[in-house]
Structure 1
Amino acid sequence: MNSRKVVQLFFTTLLIGSISGAIVGFIFDYDILTSGSFANFIVGIIWLLGMSAAFTLISQMGFFAYLTVHRFGLGLFKSQKLWNYVQIVIVAFVIFDLIYLRYIAFAEPGVTIFSYMIMPLLLLAYGLLIAFLKAKDTNKGAFIPALFFIVVVTTIEWVPALTVNDTKWLWLYFTPLIVGNTWQLLILHRLAREPKN
């Protein structure tokens, strides 16, 4: 992949992630953005785009970090099969932590753990879907790394919002991350396959 394609990946990810985050932010802040002047609306949208762009940059750093970690893991375990098992264990551990640690940190008296299971299980289901699409487009060996990236790397990038436990910030932070991560994962092999100009 040449430098032009890397730049293309960077800017398309930044654009898609920023817009997706701004849309979610607009939904949460609809009353605030539409109740004031037109200038208030414009400044609010610019602020949402800027915040979402920052979160999208985090997703890009996470993507390139994972590409390095993946190569390191393959070299360390000397076998893709063994490295895949390690990744599956880490995915299970992260899903458990997303449920249990958030429950013990934020649950109010009378709230069951089941309400804290919804978000992690939806993330897992989404990760399985994206991993299936990645494997279908490339090869079966891409399934576990794709699942690991969507679940584990997205969760690591999402930690600052998870510790706040505010619904608006959870979604405002999560949307550019998941959109950026999904886009990068599903477009990389297409860019790499394109003939050089």
Structure 2
Amino acid sequence: MNSRNWVRLFLSTLLIGALSASIVGFAVKWGEYRPFFQSFNIGEILSALLWFIGIGLIFSIISQMGFFAYLTIHRFGLGICRSVSLWNSVQVLLTAFILFDLVYLQVIMASSTESDVSPSRYIMAGIVVVAGLVVALIKVKQTNQAAFIPGLFFMIVVTIIEWVPALRANDTGWLYLMLYPLLICNAYQLLILPRLIQNSQRERRNTSARMKAM
């Protein structure tokens, strides 16, 4: 991919992160901000909006770091395993382990505070799995069946790793506020990548044709 399309991916993902965090933020914190909307308190609304945009940009950068890290790890894994099927098996095992660890972590955290595990925690884990399956299936339609397991691994494992700061905070509001922008940004990057690569290849061909014509 050429630099122009990298910049396009970076900026568009930033925008998506800011928009998604703003929408999710007001939805999650609606009880807190509803009085400001009812009284048309523009100052408080804009202040909250700027806050959500700021954290959305941070979530977007975290998502992009995870995406580029996975692209590197994916190539490295293929080189080490020397077999697509073996590397896919490793990714499946890692995905199962991370999901188990996510649920087990919730049980440990609840037992340490002598409280029950909130059903919302299991719901969020289910959301990650469903989102991963949906995006992976779309990726297969875009490319081929070989993209299913890498897509699923990225959407589940990488998202959960990026989600760790909110998991450590153990606050339901922050868990939702960080999860949805991460899922949206990760899905966007995964699905837009083939188009940007095609654009880069076409731009290179056009540039090469112009150079030969000179």
TM-score (norm 1): 0.93
2 CA distance for matches of 1:72 and 1:142?
Answer: 16
- CA distance in 2: counterparts of 1:32 and 1:115, whole angstroms: 20
- For 1:135, the equivalent position in structure 2 comes to 140
Q: Which of the numbers 92, 99, 111 marks the counterpart of 2:116? A: 111
In the superposition, relative to structure 1, how do residues 115 and 49 fare at CA in structure 2: closer, same or farther (>3 Å)?
closer
1:87 corresponds to which of 91, 94, 98:
91
1:147 aligns with 2:152: yes
Deviation at 1:121, TM superposition (A): 2.7
Per-residue deviation, 1:112: 6.3
Q: Distance in 2 between matches of 1:125 and 1:47?
A: 29
Matches within 5 A, 1:12-161: 12-36=12-36, 37-106=41-110, 111=116, 116-161=121-166
Contact 2:106 2:117 in 1 (8 A): no
Q: 1:128 to 1:35 in 2, by over 3 A?
A: same
CA offsets per residue over residues 63-98 of structure 1, 9 Å max, x none?
A: 000000000000111111100000000000011011
What's the Cα RMSD here? 1.9
TM-score scaled by length of structure 2: 0.86
1:3 corresponds in structure 2 to: 3
Distance 1:160 1:187 in 2: 26
Kept after mapping to 1: 8 A contact 2:110/2:116 = no
Distance in structure 2 (CA, Å) of the matches to 1:139 and 1:166: 39
For 1:83, the aligned partner's letter is: W
Letter in 1 for 2:71: L
Q: Structure 1: state its 5+ residue gaps.
A: none
Residues paired across the two proteins, number: 197
Query: Unaligned stretches of 5+ in structure 2?
Result: 207-214
**Quick one: which of 184, 187, 199 aligns to 1:182?**
187
Larger radius of gyration: 2
Partner of 2:116, secondary structure, is coil
Identity within the alignment, % = 48
Q: Is the 8 A contact 1:99 1:113 kept in 2?
A: no
What CA deviation, in whole Å up to 9, does each residue of 1:131-166 have, x standing for no partner? 111011011111110000000000000001011121
